[in-house]
Structure 1
Amino acid sequence: MEVSVWDTYVPREDGKIMHFDILVPSTLTESTTIFGYGKAYLETKSFKTGELSANECRFCHMQSAPESVEEGIREQGYYIIEMENCS
């Protein structure tokens, strides 16, 4: 499966910057849907964060996804890769 990678940086209330990628099927291009996925992910965190919008989340590139990512996308429509300050 080909996926689009959306590079995302969201400020945390403690001043750190969260960095994570939102992976979606390459056929999904509606940014409001993708931002909604990011917001749903942020709601799972035990700490407060800033807003997620086009300023924090941008399309980066497309790539082929491994099976574990494909499975996550089939289950919930998207997949998150946590990079920095996500816990």
Structure 2
Amino acid sequence: MKVAVWDTYVTRQDGAIMHFDIIAPDHIKNAEVIHTFGKDYLQLKGQASQQLTSRECRFCHIAQASPEMVESINDKGYYIIEMQGCE
């Protein structure tokens, strides 16, 4: 499965930066849909009030999905790769 990688940087409530990638099926081109995925993730991390727009989240590239990514996409529509400040 081909997936789109959306590079995302969000300022946390404590001022630190969260860097994560939103992985979604490559046929999803609507950034608002991708932002909804990111907002769902932020809510899980206790950061629901933080802004996530095209300024914080941008398309990066197309990649081949791993089995773990495919499983998450089939379950909830997206997969998150935590890069920095996501603990």
Using structure 2 for the length normalisation, give the TM-score. 0.94
Instruction: Tell me if structure 2 keeps the 8 A contact 1:10–1:49.
Output: no
Task: Provide runs of 4+ in structure 1 moved above 2 Å.
Answer: 46-50
Q: Supply the distance in 2 between the matched residues of 1:49 and 1:6 (Cα, whole angstroms).
A: 20
How much does 1:45 deviate?
1.2
Inter-partner Cα distance in structure 2 for 1:58 and 1:13: 21
- Runs of 5+ in structure 1 lacking a partner? none
Kindly report the root-mean-square deviation, in angstroms, between the aligned alpha carbons of the 2 structures.
1.2
Identity %: 48
Distance 1:76 1:48 in 2: 18
Q: Contact (CA 8 Å) 2:7, 2:57: kept in 1 or not? A: yes
Matched residue SS, 1:43: helix
Q: TM-score of the superposition, structure 1-length normalised?
A: 0.94
Q: Given the alignment of the two structures, is residue 35 of structure 1 paired with residue 30 of structure 2, yes or no? A: no
The count of residues paired between Structure 1 and Structure 2 equals 87
